[in-house]
Structure formats: structure tokens, C-alpha cells
Amino acid sequence: MLTPSRLVLARTRRGLTAVELARKAGTSPASIGDYEHGRRRPRPATTARLTEALGFPPGFLEADDVPEVEVTFTRPAAKRQRDAALGAARLAIGFDGWLTRAFTFPEPNVPTWDHPDPETAAEVLRARWGIPHRPAPNMVHLLEAHGVRVFSLPPDCAGVGPFSCRHDGTPYVFLDPTASPGEARFDAARELGRLTGASDAQTFAAAFLLPRAGVLAAVARGPLTEHVVAHSATWHVDPVTLAHRLRDLGLLTRPQHATVCAQLARRTVGMAHRETSQLLTKVFRALRAQGTTPHGVARELLLDVEELNGLVFGLVLTALPGQGDPGRRTRPNLTLVRP
């Protein structure tokens, strides 16, 4: 029996209107509306045509409801793209629910405040997480170690930009797969700021990645462009990001900042490698050790492997389609501890 919310999810994930889906499935827009609102149930043959038209595996439209979630998008985007991204987030949360039934993950440790000063919020959270003044490690690893589930947006949803949300007490971050390594690291810190409720997530991210006390102790006043590049490698940020922070901390005057940024614009500098997921890498490795391939995981989730790969794109390499599928076996009970 068709689940109405599943039909809405599948249609919006594919970026289709009711009229477009009706045309593809050989039915009427009025019927689509009736099915989505639960006023009528389609015949099995109609459900099969809808499933095929939407490109989901058999059974997807008849499974249990997928969790609802509310998010605030960071970039202006067309409603179709926002709806598709929201659908991807709901599928990711469903995937996470599947994982938490088989694996033990760190408990969430991301406090929330009522519009605190972003500099103070970053300092307090750094102290709480034991990294008061030193460079932050891999941000994806750090978030995962403190109970944040990090996923990628599928490439077709990248235009909405990164976003975050909470569901049943668990924080989630969704990253832009098209961002550069430095941008993705900053995005992760900015979404962390949104999860804490910081009044200015952009300032929070800069303060979290480049803490005032640590930077003031490490960087001399009026650094040259070469020094900015060298220090940016130490702090694992793009040189331009560091230059902006040095200006805000009074270590670069506005004319000096303009000169440094102009010189950086003529160079190809920045983080070389995108930060990946430790948690998902361990999960897929453990599953493979037990004989469960990404195809098997996708089948249990009633997704195709391309959809699954979109949720971990750029975060883990082991989620690529495997050769063959030895079938479903007992899943491991893996405990992931903080690095």
C-alpha cells in the first residue's frame, strides 16, 4: 500500500511537479494530489508506474514514513532545488537511523545557547572540546567525535549550500560537494555555529578555526603575504580566510589586508585535500568485512547505490559501487570512539 508522504518525498527529491510526474507515470495531476493527501490509494500497477517514473527501487513508495525535518538554507535557491535538498536530508537521516541500529556512535555533545556572542561561543566550545588555543583538527572528524552526523548533499542539490539541523536530539550537517577543501572546512565550522545558536555563524566559524589567543600568540603584527600563507598551513585554513581574521584582530591594517588579498588572488594557494569522514569510512569498512557491499546497504534502504553515494560524496571513498554482492550477512556492532 502506497505511503503518501513517501510519494511526496520521492517526487520532490526528483524535482518534479505533480503535473510532470503525472505525465511520466501516465496518470492525472488530480490523481497525484489524491495519492499524496491520502484521499485515494493507487492500484498496484499504478504504484509500480509511479515508482519507475521516480527512479526509486520497488517498495520505496510503500515503506514507512521518512522523518520530517526543518532546515534553514544558507543561499537563495529555487524551491524545486530546496525541496530536493530537503528530501536528500530526510533520506540521509533515514540512513543514519539504519546505521544507529547496527553501530554505536558518540553521543551528541553540541550545546546550544540563546544568541550568544559568537567569539565567546567559539571560545567556550573550544575549551569544552579540549582545543582551547591550538589549530582545530579535521573538522569532519571533530564533529563526528562529538556526535554530529556529517553527510554530503548530492551534487544536484549543491546550489542550496551547506545547512544543518537537529532531529530527535541528534545534530546533522550537510556539506556542499562542490566546495573547495578550504571552503568545506569553513562551512563545517559555520554550521557548527548555527547548531550552537551563535548569533553570527560566520564570525563563530572564523573564531573557532582561528581562536583569538592562539592567533595573537603565533602571528606578528603586519605579516607579509608569505607569512600569511605559512601560518594558514599551520591553522589549516585558506590564506584569504586567515587574512580576513588578521584584519579583524588588528594584526593587518585595512590597506595591508587589501595588499595581501590582491597578492593572494594572483596565486593558487589553499588547502590541497578535502577533509573526509572517519566515521563513515569505518562503517563501510566494517560492513565490507562482513560481506555487506554498498549495493546491499542501498537495497536495505530501498535506494539505489547512486543515491547512497550522493549522501557520502567526497566524504568516503569506500562507498563506491563494489563488484558483485555476496548478499546480506549479520551486521557488526562497531563502536566508534573519539580520536
For residue 241, being part of any structural domain is answered with yes
For residue 237, being part of any structural domain is answered with yes
What pLDDT was estimated at residue 333?
Answer: 42
Q: What is the pTM of this model?
A: 0.90
Least trusted range by pLDDT, from 63-67, 112-116, 151-155, 180-184: 112-116
For residue 20, being part of any structural domain is answered with yes
Mean pLDDT on 128-153: 96
Q: How far apart are CA 43 and CA 61, in angstroms?
A: 13
3-state secondary structure of 152: strand
pLDDT digits (tens, 9 = 90+) for 47-64: 999 999 999 999 999 999
pLDDT band at 334 (very low <50, low <70, confident <90, very high): very low
Q: How far apart are CA 22 and CA 38, in angstroms?
A: 16
**Last residue in a domain, options 11, 32, 65:** 65
For residue 43, being part of any structural domain is answered with yes
CATH number of the CATH domain containing 21: 1.10.260.40
Domain that holds residue 18: 1-65
The larger pLDDT score, comparing residue 113 to residue 85, is at: 85
- Is 136 within 8 Å of 208 (Cβ atoms)? yes
What pLDDT was estimated at residue 325?
Answer: 39
Residue 319 has pLDDT above 60, yes or no: no
For residue 9, being part of any structural domain is answered with yes
Q: How far apart are CA 48 and CA 59, in angstroms?
A: 9
Mean pLDDT on 69-96: 94
What pLDDT was estimated at residue 268?
Answer: 84
What pLDDT was estimated at residue 339?
Answer: 40
Query: DSSP alpha helices (H): ranges in the chain?
Result: 4-13, 18-25, 29-36, 44-54, 79-100, 118-128, 139-145, 181-196, 201-209, 212-218, 225-235, 239-248, 254-265, 278-289, 294-301, 305-311
Residue 338 has pLDDT above 80, yes or no: no
What percentage of the chain reaches a pLDDT higher than 90? 84
For residue 251, being part of any structural domain is answered with yes
What pLDDT was estimated at residue 332?
Answer: 41
The larger pLDDT score, comparing residue 314 to residue 173, is at: 173
What pLDDT was estimated at residue 142?
Answer: 97
Mean pLDDT on 150-174: 95
Q: How far apart are CA 136 and CA 132, in angstroms?
A: 9
Q: How far apart are CA 122 and CA 322, in angstroms?
A: 41
For residue 270, being part of any structural domain is answered with no
**Last residue in a domain, options 231, 265, 299:** 265
Residue 115 has pLDDT above 80, yes or no: no
- Of the chain, the end-to-end C-alpha distance in Å amounts to 45
Least trusted range by pLDDT, from 66-80, 83-97, 232-246: 66-80
Residue 171 has pLDDT above 60, yes or no: yes
pLDDT band at 317 (very low <50, low <70, confident <90, very high): low
pLDDT digits (tens, 9 = 90+) for 281-303: 999 999 999 999 889 999 999 99
**Last residue in a domain, options 65, 92, 120:** 65
pLDDT digits (tens, 9 = 90+) for 8-47: 999 999 999 999 999 999 999 999 999 999 999 999 999 9
For residue 292, being part of any structural domain is answered with no
- Containing 174, the helix (H) or strand (E) segment is strand 170-175
- Is 188 within 8 Å of 237 (Cβ atoms)? no
What pLDDT was estimated at residue 213?
Answer: 96
Total domain count, the chain: 2
